[in-house]
Amino acid sequence: MIDSNMLNYERSGEWLCLSVNALTSHAAHAGVRQIEAGSHPHHVRQWLLALGLFPERYLNRLFSVGGIQMDGETIRLRTFIPADPAKDAVYRMALQQREEVQAETKATRSSKVRAQILHQDDWCLVMDKPAGMPVHPNALGQRGTLDEAATLAGIEQGDHQLPKHIHRLDDDTAGPVLYARNELAQLHLDEAMREKSIGRQYVAIVQGVLRGRNGTVDAPIGKDRHHRARRRVTPSGDHAVTHYEVITSYRRATLVRLWLETGRTHQIRVHMSHLGHPLVGDTLYGGSDAILHHQALRGEQLTFTHPWSGKEMTVHADEPEWFREVRERYASL
């Protein structure tokens, strides 16, 4: 993670511009000798590697495409690279969506459910995904994904990078999804996911009344060989841990808050069904759809370390209207 207090930057189009003076101060602290003005990109790369501020893989790729420059007292790294319309289908669809939005009437625009931006800067983006919207295309040319919405969010700000999602949510699960907006951010955030340092907090309505106020489900999850779409708890599955606490108990259901220690497909749905308390609406795992026709699950909060500044970020998502209605319905029974 970069220390922004040491490396204040400016952005010039596609280029990340860093002060040599600021870097030199860091070099002195790290015991690395000062770089000379006008140094060749190879020497700049070697110097930056010695400082240990950037991933080697990132600097080597930049060097290979001429993405490292030294201009007077400034080191320039080609970091904010725009999408290639010829290669990036999601980017083309986002451009098409922009044209469609511009052509909509005010009434049509307000009636559509859209993904909201919860946080946006040069490095990362957090989108609030509505229930029913897939994160990424599941078939060639599929429209209406969160990836498309995230790309459009940048285009509307005059920024044409192609964001990459760091984690996913099921199609019918609402909540915040984190995106990296460039390769350097993606390297840091992917590593954070591997190290399980990105916190994901959820709220669900499960059937029946849970015993106790909190608990942990530590049960491996694997594919169900009898049903392609399902997962199940099985000794041969992947390690999976879910923590939960009861928020409110109703007569026929329980409102619970959950935290993922791992990120397996359908993890919360499988684990709560394994406890005998499937999610309301989740017919795939034994829930009833009498009140809701998809699982009553939403992401509530996302915590992560900012890929440039190193600042701890906490992003909240508002409760969707459909979730509030189901919650109040059970409270009134």
Active site residues: 170
Burial of 105 (0-12, 13-18, 19+ CB in 10 A): exposed
Dist. CA 257–CA 243, nearest whole Å? 8
CB 206 within 8 Å of CB 279: yes
Residue ranges of alpha helices (H) inside the chain are 20-30, 41-51, 56-64, 89-103, 106-111, 146-155, 183-194, 267-274, 321-332
Residues β-bridged to residue 74: 19, 71
Is 305 in a helix, a strand, or coil? strand
Distance (Å, whole) CA 268 – CA 256: 11
Q: Could you give the count of Cα atoms lying within 13 Å of 128 in the half-sphere of its Cβ? A: 15
Distance CA 307, CA 189 (A): 6
